[in-house]
Amino acid sequence: MTILGVDPGIATVGFGVLNADRNSLKVVKYGAITTQPGLPLASRLLVIERDLTSIIGMFSPDAVCVEELFFNTNATTGISVAHGRGVILLTAAKCGVPVFEYTPLQVKQAVVGYGRAEKQQVMDMTRRLLKLQSVPRPDDAADALAIAICHARSSTSLLREYM
C-alpha cells in the first residue's frame, strides 16, 4: 500500500510517501510544498493544489492521510491552515484517492504509543521507525511521515480482516 501523508499549512505543506505492509514501512519520498509570502491567499492555494496534484500523479497513492486541525491560541493561523487543508482534501478527492483523517492525539498514539507525547518524541520515533539517519526536514515533512505511519498502523491492523 502506498500512503501519502500530508501536514496541512499555507506557507509550508509537508508531505511524506510510504510503502507499507504488515511487516515494514519504507520511505519513498518526503519534502514540502512551499508558497511565497506576500502572495494572495488564492494564489498560494493554487500552488498547493498544483503541486499536490503533481505528487499524487507521480506516486499514485492508495490513500491520502491528513491531520485534523487543532486550534490552539491563534485562531487566525488556524483559519489560514484550514484553507490549505480544504484544498488538500479537495485535491485528493479530485484525483480519486480516498482520504483518511487523524487527530494529533491519534498520530502521537500510533507513532510513540502515548497520545500526549512531545513533538520531539514523535519526530525521533518517526526517524527510528523508518530507519532514517536523521529526523526528516523540514519539520512539516516529518509530521507528514508520522501521519502516514499512523495510517499504515491503522490500515494494516489484523483487526481490519474481521471487520
Active-site positions? 7, 67, 140
Q: Is 64 helix (H, G, I), strand (E, B) or coil?
A: strand
d(C-alpha 119, C-alpha 116), whole Å: 9
DSSP lists the bridge partners of residue 19 as 2, 26
Q: How many CB atoms lie within 10 A of CB 115?
A: 13
d(C-alpha 110, C-alpha 44), whole Å: 31
Closest CA to 109 of 93, 121, 95, 94: 121
Contact status, residue 115 vs residue 109, Cβ threshold 8 Å: yes
